[in-house]
Structure formats: structure tokens, C-alpha cells
Amino acid sequence: MTTDLRTLLARRQPGQTLEAPFHTDPAIFRADLDIIFGRHWIYVGVEPDVPDEGDCMTVDIGPHAIIIARDDDMELHAFHNVCRHRGARLLHTPTANIGNIVCPYHQWTYGLDGALKFAAHMPADFDKTCHGLRRVHLRSLAGLLFVCLAETPPADFDTMAETLTPYIAPHDIRNCKVAHAEDIVEHGNWKLTMENNRECYHCSAAHPELTRSIFAEGFGFAPVGAEAEAQTQRFHRLVDTLHIECSRNGLASREIEHLDDRVTGFRTERLPLEDAGESETLDTRVACKRLLGNLHEKRLGALSLWTQPNSWHHFMSDHIVTFAVFPLSAETALLRTKWLVHKDAVEGTDYDLANLTAVWHATNRQDSDLVGKAGAGVRSSGYRPGPYSPDTEALVEKFSAWYIGRMAASLDA
């Protein structure tokens, strides 16, 4: 009874929201898992999730269950979280520190590089080298971890990494620690969570805490009304000032946007913040006394970084907030947020956790409520695609166009 995916892709109207089946149909959800999450670079976490030898982290990208492990040579590896014997899930906790990966069922034992080291009761001609854990491609972009489940991953990761490293590197993710993490189940398709992130049209009404520090203009918002011109001019003056200062400090800061013209889409820009201009906190000042990396200047605004299909990040002088979206079902998604500070920062002394997390903890809940309302609407029979605002929702359109393009390209291949 549902319309064919090819038909839906072909008839998508640029500038309009996606038709309902993209947000509700289990068959299209399976296609999303296969094409988008199975064949693109997916952001999964940060190196500080697995800082030490023997550290493992599990990540579930829909039905793709993955282990990320750091071996004794500090090398990172990614594998399917499935035993090669009877198929049992190997690791069941979000993180672990272990010497080997031992299957809980029959104790088949794998090294942290995935090699099968021990399997009792197998015959003499059993070839252990054919039964190592199945590998998943893994890359670290200056500390941001991406996996790709395809045999041959998109080749443009390197270009993205070269472009973005100068922006990210000064924040020195590898010398950070995860001060806090939270997962929220949002009651809408993963693309609704992404669409919500790709515009700030809703910010002024929905996000009183966040808009103390950020400028909606930095996220595609074009002000309207009597004060529009003055607002825009002020914002651009602040941007210009920040970029000049960054340039003086050797920090990359100018906008680079390839959301819709690459397989691995991304966008970045260093943006000014309001008032004290230091951080995305309730008082716009740094939440952590110990600055990141070798940074000495507090007032660096916020480096905004987006990747397609599933992440966004805010890098300030004192902390980083990093967001990953994982599909759960056609109509639900997981939003995973982590707050990073310098690894030597001491809670209670250098930072107060409640203060550090206040803005995005509140903002996430507000966004989750809106995504739930969008999810409830698009599953109603009365829903029809509506128009994006050309000036204020252009980056949402880029997300949707990227998605449609990637799906269509994959079906054509």
C-alpha cells in the first residue's frame, strides 16, 4: 500500500519537507539503515571514550552493533559486536576495560585487534585466522571517531579531515575527558532530529537558555522586521572581529560549507557568542577554568561543526559539546550528547557539572519535545509536505537534498 521508494525520491519537491513515508514507513527506515547508516561515515564518539589500553566502547547504529577497542599499542579498532562461533553479542555494557574480548557463551577469545586467539573444541583443521572479528572501518578526525560499515567507504573522508583538522585541532580532543554524557530517545524519525538541528528558526521561542549565548544568525537564520538590518549588521561585525582575532591567533575560523555537494557532507564556522562571548553557558562565561589544549584566550566564540548524516558539535575555549544521532525505529531516534573538558580539569574545582551542562541539557529537552510534536504531526493522515523558508531554512533544505541525493544515487548504483 505504501508508495515505492524510487517514486518518492523522484517526486520530492526541492524547498519542501519530505513526504510522510520518509518519517514513518518501516521499509524506508530499513533502506535508511542500509544506505545512509550502512554506507556513509557515521560519527560515533570521541577518542576520550576509550582513552587507555584495553578500553572498549559499544555503539549500536540501528541493527549494526559495533565495538570500538583500543589495543595495547594504543591503536584503535572497530568490529562487529558478534561472536564468530554461535553469534552471541560479545560486549553488553557501554564501556569496558579488558585484556581480551571473551565471548560469554563458549569463551571464544579475541585480541583487542579482533584476532581469534582461543576457541576450544574446534578440530585440527579449524583456521583461527578465518574467524577473527569482522572489521568495521574506523577513522579519527582529530579525535572525533567515525565508522563506516561498507566494504569500500566513501573516499572523501581524507579531504574532509584535511579541511577540518585546522579548525578542531586547537581544541585538542585527545587530551579531553568526557565530563558528562546523556542519551535522549526522541519520538520522531532520525531525520526530524537532524532537521531540527539544521535551523534556528525555532530558537528564539524554544530555547531561552541557549539564546543567551548563541546568535541564531550563525545557523542560517535571517532576521526579519524593523530591527533586521541592525541585527544583521551587528552579527556580521562580530563575526568579522572574531575572524580577524582568530587569524591573529592562528585559528581557522571562516565558514566552509559542503553540506550538499559531497558524499561526506559537512559545514564549519567559528561563530561569535553574546555578552561575555566565552562559552555556551547561562552567563556566557567559561564553565571550566582549565582551557582546552594550549588555548589561552577565553573569548573564541564557538566553533560550529556539522557532519552528514548524523552529527553536530560546538567547540568553545573551555569545553566541547558533541552530538550524535542514531536511528532506533522508523519513528524514534537516539540523541547522544557528551560534554568534554580538559582531562586535567577537576570537577568541583575547575568546573561545576551543573553549570557546564545547564544550557544543552535544557536545550536538548526542548528540542526533543519539538521533534516529538513534528513526529506526531507527520504520522497524521492530514500531513502534507510544507515549504521551508528560503532564507531561514536553507540549511534544512541542504540536509534533505543531501539525503534524497544519497538515497537516489545508491538506488541507481
Q: What residue ranges bind its own copies (CB under 8 A)?
A: 1, 17, 20, 27, 30, 38, 62-66, 79-90, 92, 104-107, 120-123, 126, 131, 134, 136, 149, 195, 201-202, 205-206, 222, 224, 369-370, 373-374, 376-387, 389-393
Residue 69 in grid coordinates = 577497542
Q: Collapse the DSSP code of 297 into the 3-class scheme (helix H, G, I; strand E, B; otherwise coil) and give the result.
A: coil
Q: What stretches of 188-257 show up as alpha helix (H) in DSSP?
A: 190-197, 203-206, 228-248
CB-nearer residue toward its own copies: 57 or 374: 374
Q: Which residue has the cell 550502512?
A: 38
Q: What is the spatial distance between Cα 115 and Cα 381, in angstroms, rounded to a whole number?
A: 51
Residue 344 in grid coordinates = 586535567
Q: What is the spatial distance between Cα 62 and Cα 72, in angstroms, rounded to a whole number?
A: 29
Residues 6+ apart with CB under 8 A from 323: 197, 311, 312, 313, 335, 336, 337
CB of 142 to its own copies, least distance (A): 27
Q: Collapse the DSSP code of 327 into the 3-class scheme (helix H, G, I; strand E, B; otherwise coil) and give the result.
A: strand
CB-nearer residue toward its own copies: 143 or 188: 188
Q: What is the DSSP string of 365-411?
A: HHHHHHHHHHHHHHTSTT----BPPTTTSHHHHHHHHHHHHHHHHHH
CB-nearer residue toward its own copies: 122 or 328: 122
CB of 21 to its own copies, least distance (A): 13
CB-nearer residue toward its own copies: 198 or 267: 198
CB-nearer residue toward its own copies: 22 or 360: 22
CB of 229 to its own copies, least distance (A): 15
Cβ-contact 287, 352 below 8 angstroms: yes
CB-nearer residue toward its own copies: 61 or 295: 61
CB of 125 to its own copies, least distance (A): 10
CB of 293 to its own copies, least distance (A): 36
209: enclosing H helix or E strand = none
CB-nearer residue toward its own copies: 52 or 125: 125
CB of 153 to its own copies, least distance (A): 16
CB of 361 to its own copies, least distance (A): 20
CA–CA distances in Å: residue 369 to residues 17, 132, 257, 340, 355:
19, 43, 29, 25, 22
